[in-house]
Amino acid sequence: MALRHKLRKLYIEGWYELDIVKLLASVSNDFQFIDPMELTPVGKNELDKYMDRWNARVGLNQRWRLSNEVRQDQDGILTDWEWWELIGTPFQGTAVVTTTDQGVKMEKITYFK
């Protein structure tokens, strides 16, 4: 298994477990998280503060469901597209995530009602 696949798996675990240590270990130094509820993209150095805001927004009882996942691994870039839901909440949307062997480079999410 390529390193980028292991890092993507660790990133997902970090979200499922609300584990900032796993999240930080899985992202690249130039990581960008793009959330339309944020004024600017969130970088690696701001990820812990973003997680605090995220948890305040959606609650700490987060049960995730990813579905309609599409994955492409081409030219050293792993790209995932998926529908995400926080079960039992109104929060759901789509995400695109790119990962290289240096870590998760970018995640961009959208929200749908």
Domain count for the chain: 1
Residue 93 burial (10 A CB sphere; 0-12, 13-18, 19+): middle
pTM for the model stands at 0.93
How far apart, in whole angstroms, are the C-alpha atoms of residue 66 and residue 52?
22
CA-CA distances (angstroms) from residue 60 to 35, 38, 65? 19, 19, 15
Helix (H, G, I), strand (E, B) or coil at 37: coil
Q: pLDDT tens, 30-62?
A: 999 999 999 999 999 999 999 999 999 998 889
Answer whether residue 113 shows pLDDT above 80: no
Q: What is the CATH number of the domain that holds 49?
A: 3.10.450.50
CA-CA distances (angstroms) from residue 23 to 12, 15, 17, 75, 113? 8, 7, 10, 24, 27
| Per-residue pLDDT, 68 | 86
Q: pLDDT tens, 81-104?
A: 999 999 999 999 999 999 999 999
Domain residue limits at 82: 3-109
